[in-house]
Amino acid sequence: MNRKRMMGIWALGACMALGAVAHAESWRKISLRSAEGLDIHVDTVINKSGSASYKPSYSHTASPLFVSVRGPQLKPSSKVRIVLNNYNYGMRNAVPQAYVLDLKASHSAQYGFHFSGELGDAKVDQSYLDLGTGKQTPLLAGISGYGGNHAYPQAVAVVADKTWQTDPVNGSHNFQFELGLGNP
């Protein structure tokens, strides 16, 4: 193969690799149900960005991220709050980011009456990273690349009208799930 053709193939491969460096996947949906009968939905897009260099490394962020809660016991005057914890490297004893969000009542043809909010509007309480209370940071769903693939687990707790919702799977108030890394 001549040198010019080899360079063309290399350039095409580099363009394809760089094109995949910053891309968004389709919507990812997590559906949960509390023992008390509320439906909890987490909807997001996993965005991948980083370097496709000799030692590639990528960050996978969840943005935008919406949370909605619905159930027959909720009324327009109800108060619904969520606390979403994003755990670092799969260790559930360290909470790098704790998002606190009061959901707003809304109505749509698709979902009917429900409470919803976007994580970008949340108050962020940092307990591991010293970024300051209230500073908005994207939810880091994981990292991948040269050092391996690490999807960070998440947990959401829901308080509706002063009643903590219970996860029927683990019996706690934390509904555990994983947004994942998206496409490698």
93: left (phi over 0), alpha (psi -120 to 50) or beta: alpha
* CA of residue 71 relative to chain centroid, distance: 23
Residue 25 confidence (pLDDT): 59
Query: What mean pLDDT is predicted for residues 86-110?
Result: 78
Secondary structure element (H or E) that encloses residue 66, with its range = strand 57-70
Q: How confident is the model over 56-95, as pLDDT tens digits?
A: 888 888 889 999 999 999 999 999 999 998 887 655 566 6
What sign results for the dihedral spanned by CA atoms 153, 171, 168, 106? negative
Indicate the DSSP class of residue 76: T
Please give the average per-residue pLDDT across 45-63, as a whole number: 86
Going from the C-alpha of 159 to that of each of 24, 84, 115, the distances in angstroms are 31, 12, 12
Mean pLDDT calculated for residue range 116-141: 67
